[in-house]
Structures are given as C-alpha cells and as structure tokens.
C-alpha cells in the first residue's frame, strides 16, 4: 500500500506511526464488534433487556470505529496531501472488500 501511495520519505516517517496506532485502535473496535455479534447470535432465548444491551454495545463499537476514522483523517491532513488520503481510503476499502470476499470462499 505504501508503494501505491507514493509517499515521500518525510511523509512516510510521519504516516507510519499514525497508521500503526490507528490500525491497532480500529482492530480493537472490530474485535469488540465481532465479539458482540457472536454473543448476540449465540444467545439462546435472550431477554429483551439482553438484546437491548448487546445491540447498544454493538452500535457504540461501530460509532467508536467511525470516530477513530474521523480522528485519524484529521491527523493525516497535517501529514500527507489530501489526494493521498483519498487514495488511502480507496485502497483500504479495496483491501477490506478483497479480504471479505476471500474469507467467504
């Protein structure tokens, strides 16, 4: 992905530490959401209260993920040009889409 972004040396030095933290935080949110989805799916005859609690937690995890994305977009604006941020966004979506499709098979 770095090669496709064509980052300069200075951009790379500023970009990589940000992305490492971003990826860690995003993965934590995704794991939390996945754990909650599994918990919802495996509950046998959950009460309305249990369903509400689990779904509230799931939506909070999703909101947190979006907030993290926005936070890091704002941070990246000070590190790399907007065109490269847009390219990063496209590459990330493409990667996730490809990964999801390969996991289905």
Give me the residue label for tokens 């941020």: 85
List, for residues 6-38, the tens digit of each pLDDT value: 999 999 999 999 999 998 998 888 888 888 889
Domain count along the chain: 1
List, for residues 29-77, the tens digit of each pLDDT value: 888 888 888 988 898 999 999 999 989 999 999 899 899 999 999 999 9
pTM to 2 decimal places: 0.74
Question: Residue 42's domain spans which residues?
Answer: 6-99
Per the domain annotation, does 104 fall within a domain? no
Number of alpha helices (DSSP H) and beta strands (DSSP E) in the chain: 4, 0
Q: Is 28 helix (H, G, I), strand (E, B) or coil?
A: helix
Per the domain annotation, does 1 fall within a domain? no
Per the domain annotation, does 41 fall within a domain? yes
Distance CA 15, CA 58 (A): 30
């Amino acid at each position: 992905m770095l090669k496709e972004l064509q980052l300069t040396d200075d951009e790379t030095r500023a970009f990589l530490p940000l992305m490492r933290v971003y990826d860690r935080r995003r993965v934590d949110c995704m794991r939390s959401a996945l754990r909650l989805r599994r918990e919802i799916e495996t509950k046998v005859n959950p009460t309305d209260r249990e369903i509400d609690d689990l779904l509230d937690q799931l939506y909070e995890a999703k909101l947190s993920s979006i907030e993290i994305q926005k936070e890091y977009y704002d941070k990246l604006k000070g590190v790399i040009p907007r065109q490269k941020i847009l390219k990063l966004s496209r590459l990330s979506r493409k990667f996730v889409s490809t990964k999801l499709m390969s996991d289905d098979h």
